[in-house]
A and B are shown apart, each in its own frame.
Chain A
Amino acid sequence: DAGVTQSPTHLIKTRGQHVTLRCSPISGHKSVSWYQQVLGQGPQFIFQYYEKEERGRGNFPDRFSARQFPNYSSELNVNALLLGDSALYLCASSSGTGEYEQYFGPGTRLTVT
C-alpha cells in the first residue's frame, strides 16, 4: 500500500506569492493534519481535517488555509508568502482524530526568497 504522498517535493517562491501544497492520505484514512517544521524544531500543528471538516487549527495567521476533498486528499494554501514561511511542510494521515498514530508524508520543502 502506498503511504502518504505529498507534492511537490521542493518549491521555491518569492515573497508575496501564493503557494498550494497537496497531500494524499493512506487509503482508508479520513483524517489529515498539516504541520510546519523549521530546521532544528519539531513539527508545529497548522490544521486538522476529518471527514472534510476542520477539526483543529494552530496558531498560524489567516494567510494559511486548507481544505479536504471528498476523496480525503487535502490542500494547504499560503498567501502573501513571507521569508519566515520557509520550512518543511508535513502532511500526516490517521484513522481518526484523538489517540491515533499519525503517518507522515515526506514533506514539501518550501523556500521563500
Chain B
Amino acid sequence: SQKIEQNSEALNIQEGKTATLTCNYTNYSPAYLQWYRQDPGRGPVFLLLIRENEKEKRKERLKVTFDTTLKQSLFHITASQPADSATYLCALLWYTGRRALTFGSGTRLQVQP
C-alpha cells in the first residue's frame, strides 16, 4: 500500500528565514499532490496543488516542488513569520485503487520572533 512520510518532529526556525518541509511517498507517483495548513482544533486549509507533470508551483511566499524520481515534494515558506506557525499536511491522490486523498501525518512548524 502507498505510504506517505512527513517529518514528525517539529521544525523550529527564526522569523525571516525559509522553512522547508518534506513529504516522501512510496511506490508509484500520485496524480497530484496538495499541501494544507492546519491550526489546532480547526480543519485543514488548502494551500497549493501540484500535478505529476509539474516540477514547481509558487503562490506568494509559498513554493512547492515535486520530484517523481526522488518520490518527494518540498514545501517552502520564504520570509517566514510567527503567523506561519501551524501544522502542514501533504495529501496525495493516486488514480488507481481507491482514488481517495491520502494525508500524511503532518509537520508542525514553529516560527520564533
Choose from B46, B100, B103, B106 the contact partner of A101 (Cβ within 8 Å). Answer: B46
Q: Which 4 A-B pairs have CB atoms at the shortest separation, nearest pair first?
A: A104-B43, A42-B103, A101-B46, A45-B100
Q: Name the B residues within 8 Å of A102 (CB-CB).
A: 34, 44, 46, 101
Tell whether A48 pairs with B100 under 8 Å between CB atoms, given A40-B105, A99-B31, A101-B34: yes
Contacting residues, chain A, for B42 (C-beta < 8 A): 106-107
Supposing A33-B101, A43-B103, A56-B98 touch, asked if A99 and B43 sit within 8 A by C-beta, the answer is no
Count of B residues near A, CB < 8 Å? 24
Q: How far is the CB of B104 from chain A (nearest CB, A)?
A: 5
A interface residues, how many (CB within 8 angstroms): 26
Q: How many A-B residue pairs have CB under 8 A?
A: 60
| CB neighbours of A101 from chain B (8 A) | 34, 46, 49
In the complex the two chains form, is B49's CB within 8 Å of A58's CB?
no
Spell out B's residues near A (CB within 8 Å): 4, 31-32, 34, 41-46, 49, 51, 89, 91, 93, 98-106
23 intermolecular pairs with C-beta atoms under 8 Å apart: A4-B43, A33-B100, A33-B101, A41-B105, A41-B106, A42-B4, A42-B91, A42-B103, A43-B89, A45-B100, A48-B100, A55-B99, A56-B98, A56-B99, A57-B98, A58-B98, A92-B43, A99-B32, A101-B46, A104-B45, A106-B43, A107-B42, A107-B43
Give the docked Cα–Cα distance between A45 and B101 (Å): 7
